[in-house]
Amino acid sequence: MSRPGSEEVRRARVWLSRAVEPGSLALHRLLATCGPVEAVRLIRAGEAPGPVARMAEARRTADRVDADLADAERLGLRLVTPEDDEWPDAALHPMEVACALDRDDLAAPLLLWVRGAARLDDVLAGAVAVVGSRDATPYGRHVAADLGHELARRGWTVVSGGAYGIDAAAHRGALVAGGTTVAVVAGGLRSPYPAGNATLFDNVAGSGLVLSEWPPDCPPHRHRFLVRNRLIAAFGAGTVVVEAGARSGAESTARRARELGRVVMALPGPVTSAMSVGTHHLIREGALLVTGAAHVLEAVGTLGVDLAPPPRAEPTARDRLDPLARRVLDGMPAREPASPDRIAVDAGVPVVDVLRCLPALEIQGFVHPTTTGWRLTPAARH
């Protein structure tokens, strides 16, 4: 819901979002100083500060605000701006910090074009970004889907891009679990990109959201994917890279996440797989190795609530013996009976300890006495 009197502000944001590519620190600062309406006036009049003027130069004479809003209405898109109640201030807070620290290319979005009915701030209240290579292997797609599924099942939103491979698998896994998933895409929402994921985007928008910073008709230029990545990184409490080659956009998302103070995680794979070179590199550079949702939630979830179980096999009856009894048991010959003296020599423990341990070992079914000495039970031989 928009606050009253904001229509002019909203139109100004739409104009600005076309005039200057997203993520600009210079425009962010100008807006902080004078607000969107005055920023538009300054740029149009050629009076904006140098960096902003330069970026907007080629586009400052155009005005497609009405056309963009009409496009959005026709396509069933909502325009969400910082003036709206559902604007995800909490999720975007690290970007404000980054801007305060002079970090370029990390400025918060001017607005978001949104497909889907869910409230943006609600959906992003507990979210994890899952990203990775388009050229994913069957292994990568499997574990991405599994991770998306498990995160969704535990009530977390999955955030990703809209690419083939890992992105699509993560969305699908979450959707299968009946979960909420958010696709942040790098071009306008008029033409789904890649077109082969059109049905997937429909499904994502059915329960979650498809988001873009670009006006509906903007093509997904290459550099826009890198700009878009900062939003994926910001929207997740942590970013998990599932598969990435030596050269992958997923690593840029991971870098953004680190710059924004988010938890960076990577999922390992076979060292023989070119698609795990990037994730292994990230782990070597400090990313947290995760093998599934339990590890992810331990890192981003509530402290002490979402602890992953340690990867321990159940202790066996032998494990539960005290070290001395275990040593006596180790000293028993495999098949023939033995006297306590002989066991003491083989095990290297005093006879008195052997005599003390044997009855306890008998009660627990490890040994039994015979007329010629003590011997292992068949079950204890393994």
CB of 376 to a copy of itself, least distance (A): 13
Task: Considering the complex, state which of residue 70 and residue 352 has its C-beta at the smaller distance from a copy of itself.
Answer: 352
Task: Considering the complex, state which of residue 95 and residue 343 has its C-beta at the smaller distance from a copy of itself.
Answer: 343
CB of 219 to a copy of itself, least distance (A): 8
d(CA 347, CA 250): 56
Q: Coil, strand or helix: which one is 331?
A: coil
CB of 323 to a copy of itself, least distance (A): 8
Task: Considering the complex, state which of residue 247 and residue 304 has its C-beta at the smaller distance from a copy of itself.
Answer: 247
Task: Considering the complex, state which of residue 32 and residue 246 has its C-beta at the smaller distance from a copy of itself.
Answer: 246
Residue (of 9, 2, 36) closest to 20 by Cα position: 36
CB of 211 to a copy of itself, least distance (A): 20
d(CA 273, CA 310): 27
- Chain residues in the site for a copy of itself (CB under 8 A): 20-21, 54-55, 57-59, 62, 139, 142-143, 219, 221-224, 245-247, 267-272, 276-278, 280-281, 283-284, 288-289, 291-292, 295, 310-313, 326-327, 330-331, 341, 344-351, 354
- Preceding omega of 194 cis (within 30 degrees of 0): yes
CB of 123 to a copy of itself, least distance (A): 27
Contacts of 253 (CB under 8 A, 6+ apart): 129, 131, 229, 232, 233, 239, 241
CB of 26 to a copy of itself, least distance (A): 13
Using the 8-state DSSP alphabet, how is residue 338 labeled? Answer: B
CB 103 within 8 A of CB 143: no
CB of 30 to a copy of itself, least distance (A): 16
Structure tokens belonging to residue 158: 């999955």
Task: Considering the complex, state which of residue 21 and residue 71 has its C-beta at the smaller distance from a copy of itself.
Answer: 21
Q: Coil, strand or helix: which one is 264?
A: strand
Q: Which residues pair with 160 in a beta bridge?
A: 183
Task: Considering the complex, state which of residue 129 and residue 329 has its C-beta at the smaller distance from a copy of itself.
Answer: 329
Give the number of other CB atoms < 10 A from CB of residue 247. Answer: 9
Q: Which residue has the tokens 């083939």?
A: 164
Task: Considering the complex, state which of residue 33 and residue 291 has its C-beta at the smaller distance from a copy of itself.
Answer: 291
Let me know if 61 is exposed, middle or buried by CB neighbors in 10 A (0-12, 13-18, 19+). Answer: exposed
